[in-house]
Structure 1
Amino acid sequence: MSTGRIQFAEQDGTFVLKFVGEVRLTLCSALDATIERIFTALNFNAIVIDLTETLSIDSTTLGLLAKLSILSRQKIGLLPTVVTTQEDITRLLESMGFDQVFNIIGKPIPCPDCLTDLPSQDQTEEVVRVKVLEAHKILMGLNDSNHEAFHDLVHALERH
């Protein structure tokens, strides 16, 4: 069982996603549904992902964050902001090429009091496999290093 959670708030035209603890695959269905919800709204001026309380984050979650950035640039021409104060998380983001698709800042910002946990979503194994595949294909597209790192996993998921 994951010890992490993702919280969400919308305040004054800003969508905030706060990742707390160990954020893993088990939270990805709720995250993906929230990403879809954000882009059906289209009435916002900023997206902030707060990773200041994130202990670890898996590659599927990173792939969904990359999807969020790509959709944001395509649909509204906005580069989302990631807030990270932990060196290991910052290093991970930079190694994945996130500095090219996000504004990464190292200074905490005030977080809305109205954050609520994303609801858990039970998904079939096939739905989860498709989400994992999509997330890793997105990560592979960010840079050559990611392409090399995730090629075998993507190939295995496509064969399954």
Structure 2
Amino acid sequence: MSTGRIQFAEQDGTFVLKFVGEVRLTLCSALDATIERIFTALNFTAIVIDLTETRSIDSTTLGLLAKLSILSRQKIGLLPTLVTTNEDISRLLESMGFDQVFNIVNRPVPCPECLDDLPSQDQSEDVVKAKVLEAHKILMGLNESNRAAFHDLVNALEQH
């Protein structure tokens, strides 16, 4: 079981996602559903992802964040903001090429009391596998290093 959670708030035209603890695959269905919800609304002026309380984050979650950024640029021409104060998380984001698809800052988000936990979502193994595959393909598209790092995983997922 994951020891992390994702919180969400919408306030004054800003969507805020806050990742707390160890954010892993088990939270990705809820995250993906929230990303879809954000882009059906289309009535916002900013997206902020707060990673200031994130201890670790897996590659599937990173892929979904990259998807969020790509959709944001395509649909509304907006570059989302990532907030991190953890040096390890900052290094990871930079190594994945996130500095090219996000504004990365180190200022915490105001109004943490406004956030609610995302509801959990039960998904079939096939749906989860499809989300993992999509997330890693998106990461591979960000840079050559990611392409090499996730090539074998993507091939293995596509074979099964």
TM over 0.5: yes
Distance 1:21 1:112 in 2: 15
- Which residue is equivalent to 1:3? 3
- Which residue is equivalent to 1:133? 133
Runs of 5+ consecutive residues of structure 2 not aligned to the other structure: none
Distance 2:130 2:95 in 1: 24
Distance 1:109 1:21 in 2: 16
Q: 1:156, CA displacement in angstroms?
A: 0.3
- Which residue is equivalent to 1:54? 54
- Which residue is equivalent to 2:93? 93
Identity %: 88
Runs of 5+ consecutive residues of structure 1 not aligned to the other structure: none
Q: 1:112, CA displacement in angstroms?
A: 4.2
- 112-121 or 129-138, which moves further after superposition? 112-121
Retained in 2: the 8 A contact 1:11–1:112? no
For residues 28-82 of structure 1, what are the alpha-carbon distances to aligned partners after superposition, in whole Å with 9 as ceiling and x for unaligned?
0000000000000000000000000000000000000000000000000000000
Distance 2:21 2:28 in 1: 14
- Which residue is equivalent to 2:25? 25
- Which residue is equivalent to 2:103? 103
- Which residue is equivalent to 1:116? 116
Q: 1:113, CA displacement in angstroms?
A: 2.1
The one-letter code sitting in structure 1 at the alignment partner of 2:11 is Q
**Which of structure 1's runs of 4+ aligned residues deviate more than 6 A?**
none
- Aligned residue for 1:119, secondary structure, equals coil
Per the normalisation by structure 1, the TM-score is: 0.99
Per the normalisation by structure 2, the TM-score is: 0.99
Q: How many residues align?
A: 160
Distance 1:109 1:156 in 2: 39
